[in-house]
Amino acid sequence: MSSIESKRVAIVTGGSKGIGEACVAKFLSQGYKVYNLDIAPSSTGIFIECDVSSVAKVEATIAAIVKENGRLDALVANAGIYFSANIEDTSEVDLDRIINLNIKGAYAAVKASLPIMKQQKKGSIIIMSSDQAFVGKKNSFAYNLSKCALASMVRTTALDYAAFNIRANGVCPGTIETPLYHREINLWSQASGTPLKEIEAGMAGLQPLNRIGQPSEVANLVAFLASDEASFITGSLHSVDGGYVAQ
């Protein structure tokens, strides 16, 4: 077996920006061969253009990765989108878009990864949920719904595949400084006329640690959960939120 084939292999969906990009970088630093499945090109890891809302595309892509490497050690189902609206302002099209990407995207990636993990009798699945798996937030009907569904996926997958030594865990970030975060607060500032620095200070003040988190802090937890050091951890949801949901 070549040195490339003997490397640990990780797949990260949505790995081109923000938390996903930090996860790709962290796995690379630990010697993994890392595949990034995203629609936005990236030079970090091995980029494969893949719309994760297409179950068939995800299945074919992961099957090709497994065929090439003969193993899959870690899957990070991270791809997702945010949508701000209450239930009345959420159209059926909006709801379908959230479900197809946030929920079905994770479903497709997990399902496609399980056969090789069952065969090797080992694997770690990390699903990116949110602090909204624990608490409700205003104007977050569809997004909150999707993140609660992912929390459920963590638990059922952990129980169904524990006999194969496959672990499934959820990571639940709070407010993290990503491109999405900056986009949202900029839109808020433009719409409200509130100075951007005032919004940033307000967001930091909502967290008990009085700051927002960094993508690398989420990636550190993801890498730990993928490692053998977390070999007795499965079916659990882990907050990375500066204490927000503890309030």
* Residues carrying an active site annotation: 143
User: Which of the 8 DSSP states describes residue 99?
Assistant: I
| Residues forming beta bridges with residue 178, ordered by sequence position | none
For the chain, counts of helices (H) and of strands (E): 9, 7
Contact 113, 72 (CB under 8 A): yes
Residues contacting residue 132 through CB under 8 Å, at least 6 positions apart? 140, 143, 144, 147, 148
The pair of three-digit structure tokens given for residue 162, joined into one six-digit string:
């524990």
Amino acid identity for residue 175 in this structure? T
| Residues forming beta bridges with residue 34, ordered by sequence position | 10
Strand, helix or coil for residue 111:
helix
Alpha-carbon distance of 247 to 104, in angstroms, equals 31
Residues contacting residue 223 through CB under 8 Å, at least 6 positions apart? 23, 26, 27, 30
